[in-house]
Structure 1
Amino acid sequence: MPTPEEVTFGPLLFWSIGMMVVAAGCLLMFLFTYQKRLLQQQLRLRTAEAAHQQALLAAIIEAQEGERERIGQDLHDGIGSTIATAKLLVNRLSSQPTPENSAELLALVEELMAAAVHDARSISHSLYPAVLARFGLAEALQHLVDVCNETGALAIELELDYTEPLALAQELALYRICQELIHNALKHAKGASCLQVQLLQHGPQLTLEVADDGCGFPAAPVPAPTGAGLRNIDVRVQMLGAHLQQHSAPGQGSRFVIQLKAPA
């Protein structure tokens, strides 16, 4: 005959085993639900990353096509028209034995050919700045600023504190960004008296800043870049994994700050 302790212990044992089975079932259900949600989240992240990469690739292609179009227009409107004019003058010289103003025509042809050579060098430099590959980003920016200052359109001041060079691809992207920002300032900063360019390095943090004291522009209601130049800048900023800040207001100039953390 079972003792009272055995009668009491039996149902308690079955109840405990039942609770353990229920708890194990709940744990398995929780793990299954958590794994399912985790897989769904990873799938959403991969889908978003694929869409971002596709959009970035489309933007890169658009930027490249814009660059090709601008180079083609420069070749047609600059070098093409200059050489065509020089050809007409040469034909005029060859059509007459000794034109009265032959010396003036020859001088004009020399002047046109010198201008064509200068334009060809400018386009070649815009395609790939040789000084960047030879001497680095700091010297390339100094050369860019010196060339722009020679035009007399706008005084440009350059401040450099760049002691730890980046990889050539990163330096080229930063150079293109600075080149585009300077070009935009020369074109759109009405009433500006000075353009300041800074390339400063503090530890792993690298900052490129281009600021003018021109007319400025209203803050865009949507942070999406407008215009081919700003789209090109945005694409290169994304490729660098950098961060772009844009500050501007009517009558207060504009300032662009690109911050990049250099890889160890």
Structure 2
Amino acid sequence: MDSPPELAFGQLLLGGISFMFLSAVTLVLFVVVYQKRLLQQQLLLRAAESEYQQQLLSAVIAAQELERERIGRDLHDGIGSTLATAKLLVGRLESLATDEASNLTLTVKEILGNAVHDVRGLSHSLYPAVLDRFGLAEALQHLADVCSETNTLDVELTIDYEQPVALQQELALYRICQELIHNAQKHAQGATLLQVGLRQRGPSLTLTVSDNGCGFDVAALETSRAASGGAGLRSIE
């Protein structure tokens, strides 16, 4: 049987060990809870930063589209109208001029006609007014018609698009299609036909652009674009 001093020492030792164990458990729990809260704060900060970057990107894109719309309308309403008026006046001079002057007038009229066509094309590329008025399907049809008329590539368009999406999404799809067609016109060696398809299935939209050319090396093209400072295919990702 333990003597009272030994019993007291044993109880004190047991109490000390229990206290140290509880302190260690408390410390571990504190560290775990602290790290969990720290991780949650980091995740919240990352989510907030990602949302801010997305909002900033959306604001930049919206500002660019507003500027494109303004420039496009200025071109159409200002320079375009002036050139059209000049072309009309030159047309009136044809009946009044001599044969030699008439030939010169025809040349000037042709130049003015080309200028009017170019300004209209530039105005449309900066901001597609037809998209605002008639929607994505009509805008893509107009884009395909213009490309077929002004390029050696024939554009074949297939559209299955019943439920229109938001205007910003339609504008993004239009810009992507515009960029892909431009790349095909510039880089599709040996191509004579460009096929553009827009297919809607429920909430998903699929845009495809393909040509009958010889194809290209994506890595080589991206390397070339990077060396020249261009965005390449990354601009439509």
TM-score, L = length of structure 2: 0.66
Q: CA deviation at 1:134?
A: 0.6
Which amino acid is the alignment partner of residue 31 of structure 2? M
| Match in the other structure for 1:180 | 179
CA drift at 1:214: 1.2
Corresponding position: 1:118 with 2:117: yes
Tell me: CA distance 1:223–1:182, structure 2 relative to 1, closer, same or farther (3 Å).
closer
Unaligned runs of 5+ in 2: 1-6
State the AA in 1 paired with 2:182: H
Q: Which amino acid in structure 2 is aligned with residue 175 of structure 1?
A: Y
How far did residue 205 of structure 1 move?
1.3
Any idea what the Cα deviations from partners look like across 1:78-101, whole Å, max 9, x if unmatched? x9xxx8xx99xx8xx9xxx97551
Inter-partner Cα distance in structure 2 for 1:98 and 1:114: 19
Report the structure number with the largest CA radius of gyration.
2
Q: Which amino acid in structure 1 is aligned with residue 184 of structure 2?
A: A
Asked if the contact 1:225/1:231 (under 8 Å) is kept, the reply is no
Aligned to 2:234: 234
Deviation at 1:106, TM superposition (A): 2.0
Aligned partner of residue 162 in structure 2, secondary structure: coil
CA contact (8 A) 1:225 1:234 kept: no
The separation in 2 between residues aligned to 1:218 and 1:48, in whole angstroms, is 36
The amino acid across from 1:25 in the alignment is L
Distance 2:53 2:179 in 1: 24
Secondary structure of 1:156's partner?
strand
Q: Does 1:218 align with 2:220?
A: no
Partners of 1:18 and 1:202 lie apart in 2 by 65
Secondary structure in 1 matching 2:157: strand
Q: What is the alpha-carbon distance in structure 1 between the residues aligned to residue 220 and residue 22 of structure 2?
A: 59
8 Å Cα contact 1:184/1:229 also seen in 2: no
Distance in structure 1 (CA, Å) of the matches to 2:19 and 2:224:
64
* Contact kept? 1:189, 1:214, Cα under 8 Å: yes
CA distance in 2, matches of 1:22, 1:188: 69
Q: How much has 1:178 moved relative to structure 2?
A: 0.7
Matches within 5 A, 1:110-189: 110-151=109-150, 153-189=152-188
* Deviation (angstroms), 1:41: 5.7
**Higher RCO (CA-CA < 8 Å; seq separation 6+):** 1
Identity of aligned residues (%): 47
Distance 1:27 1:98, change over 3 A: closer
3-state SS of 2:114 partner:
helix
Cα separation, 2, equivalents of 1:113 and 1:191: 32
After superposition, what is the alpha-carbon deviation per residue over 1:69-124, rounded to whole angstroms, capped at 9, x for unaligned? xx9xxx9xxx9xxx8xx99xx8xx9xxx9755122122222222222221221111
Q: Which moved more, 1:171-180 or 1:106-115?
A: 106-115
Which consecutive unaligned segments of at least 5 residues does structure 1 have?
A: 1-6, 238-243, 245-264
Preserved contact between residue 132 and residue 139 of structure 1 (Cα < 8 Å): yes
C-alpha distance after superposition, 1:211-243 (max 9, x if no partner): 1121322231797893689727634x4xxxxxx
Aligned alpha-carbon RMSD (Å):
4.5
- Is contact 2:152-2:192 (8 Å) kept? no
Give the residue type in structure 1 aligned to 2:149: E
Query: Do the aligned partners of residues 20 and 165 (structure 1) sit closer, same or farther apart at CA in structure 2, a change above 3 Å counting?
Result: same
Q: How many residues align?
A: 210
**Which SS does the other structure have where 1:209 is aligned?**
strand
In 2, Cα distance between the equivalents of 1:132 and 1:192? 28
8 A contact 2:151–2:185 mirrored in 1: no
Q: How does 1:44-59 map to 2 (within 5 A)?
A: 45=46, 49=50
**Alignment-derived partner of residue 24 in structure 1:** 26
